[in-house]
A = this chain, B = another copy of it.
């Protein structure tokens, strides 16, 4: 699935466009597969989202994209990197509003780094909470599956296989 690809990429390139030290990390990672510039169709394909959605993100102010002589979008490496980041954040549940705020902070300059860090910390906690919720639900569903069609009596089997991942 493309999302796993995406995630791998995100892990490798999860960087911010404005941090030199992180830029160094980028170079260490496999960003070589990303061309200098890409069309909207190519970016859509690699991110596994639609061109419509890419235009929507641009309209929403999440990313700036240059145009070529024909007025067609030209995504440079920076834009693609940002979109990888944005897609990952969306996928993990960060609202558009927050992402808009985040990129406005990025664009505002280096002095907003602390606030951006706060946002990331908060989002990290949100993801952790969500994972715990889902793990709990998963356990419940697995238990229900394990006992389905079996005995409906009080001596149900313990959810031995219920802690799998």
Contact = CB atoms under 8 A, between A and B. Distances in A.
Q: What copy number does this chain have within its complex?
A: 2
Interface magnitude class on chain A: 35 or more
Given A127-B141, A137-B7, A137-B92, A150 B21 contact: yes
Contact of A143 (B6, B93, B150): B6
Contacts of A4: 136
Interface stretch (A35-43, A44-52, A56-64, A153-161): A153-161
A136 B23 CA distance: 11
A162 to B, nearest CB: 5
Contacts of A127: 134, 137-138, 141
B132 A19 contact: yes
